[in-house]
Structure 1
């Protein structure tokens, strides 16, 4: 081929520039293929962006179904340093007077100075030379499940005080008792609060290991003994009613409210707990829906825009004229302005909660009107977005049947959105698959077209090379004939 290329054009004057011009003239269709690929990619990416935006709106609409969105509470303690407070969505509203009279504590047992450590040169890491076994049980001990409620501690001569405490704590889950070291003394503490007891028993009655550790043998926590302290319950007074609890976290004193007791109240100076409705969470959730709806409508408008047809270089949207996208735009706008059959007379459309839509489809939220609607009937506002299930009696003794008519605006809009974003049957999924197939077919066509062009290029080169060969041969023959008619003169 290299020799053919160097020879081509020697006589005819037709060189590679001529061949390239011929090929370029025939490659116009390739540009159409490439432009179509770019157009399909742009359309696919536009639908991908729409899918992301619709999915976000779908999730934000879903938050309007949750009770906590409409039943949020704000809680306040007049003194957070003494009384912490949290509230559930269904907490009872009101102001409560709370006096903390007593904090809950756990039962404890202290060993005192262990004789083996009386020597000041000994540390808690030195071996004590003690040998024996003892068990720990608390008042939750159940004879039916001794393996779950009894802990046996096996002490070896090489164990230090730190090792022994570690062994006790390894069995805390079974015994319910924790151990720690303070000034070379063991302090045993019940993991639960209140006036509870726990016992230490020697596994071998003749074993002195418990006494060697400075603890009481075969005894229980008793407030009258100097080395033990019986725990106590907490006590609070709420609106004049005294309540006790085996914890400093009290959950049942005020319905839906958890009180965390930190310190005692000053005598005669109760703290105030205030539980109010928190409409900020509801407002935020609805505002996010409105904002996302506007974002989608604006983006869809850009994709459907025909631009300015009179402009010389008019720019249109990537999906101009797409009927599926036009149906989506119309459906979303319609749902934002339609009445909802939810059985409410006070809240039946978006206007009733402060949402208005202009002629371009853009929505605006009037928070003042929304607050008024929430103050009057928060359940009706919620039912505007999600209608609750209806229960109809069964036929001829059959059980009752729950029916969800899905009349709420959010329910209908989520249904519309799902028809587009469903991974299996959604319109966008089907379009994406179609785009992929078309682009794959175009890629095959481009490959085939390029192969044909290369074949034509080779044919042109061969044809023009043969032309030069023929012209060379003709020139040679003409020279021969000329030599015959005009023989060289003799001297």
Structure 2
């Protein structure tokens, strides 16, 4: 049987077009599989959005579990001579600060050496013993052939707590030693063969001296810690009079933290509403409408928001001015929340963070979130199930595609045979027609 290279060439029939139509019809068997895949992928994406909103809510609740959130203070300082930074241990109040003396590091300089270059031989030898404060003594050996640069480098390599440098005073070069730390506890001590250098003190070691509310304070450094609980002073200059430090509760940051929690919850509620909505006009439903995992999550969060602390000043969210609305969101009464934080921030902290080993609302939320977000939680179980279903649908799609390809290939073979057969029949028909026409012509003659 003759081979037909292109369907329809031999028969003149549109077999190629017919085969394409049959293939398209066969591929319709894939449509429900693709639709199911898309549906499950949409659910997977929906759970991803849900996880993001829940994680943000968990983070906001964790912020409220930190007692320092409700012990934060803010400070302001008059004048430019002193700056102050505070921690939650600082006590609210007003403090008068005056600075009579800044701390400074001791500096000693050698005599001036008349050398053309700092790398020239000094022509001296000996041993220089150097220490800073109560630190270990370092012995610096120098010999003929050594230069100021060599001795400087040797001192710096010894890491004694003092730095060496070279200063040109116009008449010559001098070796200068400066303590790395300020204060009288960091004086430089030199011994050994020092005569060749002729060191003298050019800057005296000095402690910082200040008063806080009339109390005299001495500090080795211009950064003064511990003089006032929870406050660090940075001294930049002396004062002509007293500067005032005002420390007060940072109620603004406390309020911001509580409102961030409310915002995070409302964001979750908005995400939940979108995923479980139904539009009757367009007959479209949210990706998780009727989903059992979604219903369980909503139920657990509604339950945990009903937390009550019977031992605290504030026992429920509503006591802080946070009320649940009919649409499921939370709304804040700014005045009531501000009053609660201003009057008793410790009690607000107790409500959220707990006290004396007893958990607060934040811990309850975190426990609930653990059953949802952690390994083995509701979301992982749900998404693992979807992943397994998508794997099965992928296998099913592959098998169906292979079946379609096999069916189309069978059609192609059958159509090729048909094309060849019709081609032969057409040839036979033409031959017979010619023979009959010839016979008829002979008969007529």
TM-score for the superposition, normalised by structure 2 = 0.88
- Secondary structure, counterpart of 1:461 in structure 2: helix
Aligned to 2:107: 108
For the residue of structure 1 that corresponds to 2:198, the secondary structure is coil
Pick from 344, 352, 367 the counterpart of residue 415 of structure 1: 367
Asked if the contact 2:23/2:404 (under 8 Å) is kept, the reply is: yes
Hey, what does 1:356 align to over in structure 2? 323
1:444 matched to 2:395? The reply is yes
- Does the aligned pair in 2 maintain the 1:106–1:232 contact within 8 Å? yes
> Which whole-Å CA distance do the structure 1 matches of 2:353 and 2:50 have between them?
24
> For residues 186-225 of structure 1, what are the alpha-carbon distances to aligned partners after superposition, in whole Å with 9 as ceiling and x for unaligned?
23233333334432233xxxxx5x322233xxxxxxxxxx
| Pair 467,158 (structure 1): closer, same or farther in 2 beyond 3 Å | same
Q: Which runs of 5+ in 2 are unaligned?
A: none
| 1:213 lines up with 2:197 in the alignment | yes
- In the aligned structure 1, how far is the partner of 2:237 from the partner of 2:220? 16
Give the equivalent residue in structure 1 for 2:288.
Answer: 319
Alpha carbons 1:92, 1:256 under 8 Å: kept: yes
Secondary structure, in 3 states, of the residue corresponding to 1:211?
coil
Q: Secondary structure at the match of 2:387?
A: helix
Mapped contact 1:4–1:462 kept (Cα < 8 A) = no
| Aligned counterpart, 2:126 | 132
How has the CA–CA distance of structure 1 residues 137 and 37 changed in structure 2, closer, same or farther, with 3 Å as cutoff?
same
Whether the 8 Å contact between 2:304 and 2:368 is mirrored in structure 1 is no
Give the conservation status (yes or no) of the 8 Å contact 1:103–1:235: yes
2:183·2:221 contact (CA, 8 Å) conserved in 1? Answer: yes
Cα offset, 1:294, TM superposition: 0.9
- Identify the range of structure 1 (467-476 vs 234-243) with the bigger mean alpha-carbon deviation: 467-476
CA distance in structure 2 between the aligned counterparts of 1:360 and 1:323, rounded to whole angstroms: 20
Structure 2: how far apart are the matches of 1:260 and 1:484? 121
Deviation at 1:261, TM superposition (A): 2.0
* Contact 1:9/1:464 (8 A) holds in 2: no
Q: Which residue number corresponds to residue 294 of structure 1? A: 266
In the alignment, the residues of structure 2 paired with residue 342 and residue 484 of structure 1 have an alpha-carbon distance, to the nearest angstrom, of 114
CA contact (8 A) 2:152 2:165 kept: yes
- Comparing 85-94 and 175-184, the one that deviates more: 175-184
Q: Per-residue deviation at 1:477?
A: 6.9
| Aligned counterparts of 1:211 and 1:140: Cα–Cα separation in 2 | 23
Aligned to 1:44: 44
Aligned to 1:328: 297
Q: Distance in 1 between matches of 2:436 and 2:189?
A: 140
Structure 1 residue 85, shift from structure 2 partner: 0.9
User: What stretches of structure 1 of length at least 5 have no aligned partner?
Assistant: 142-148, 203-207, 216-225, 391-403
Separation in structure 2 between the aligned mates of residue 351 and residue 482 of structure 1, nearest angstrom? 102
Q: Is the 8 A contact 2:108 2:201 kept in 1?
A: yes
Is the CA contact (8 Å cut-off) linking 2:4 and 2:10 kept in structure 1? no
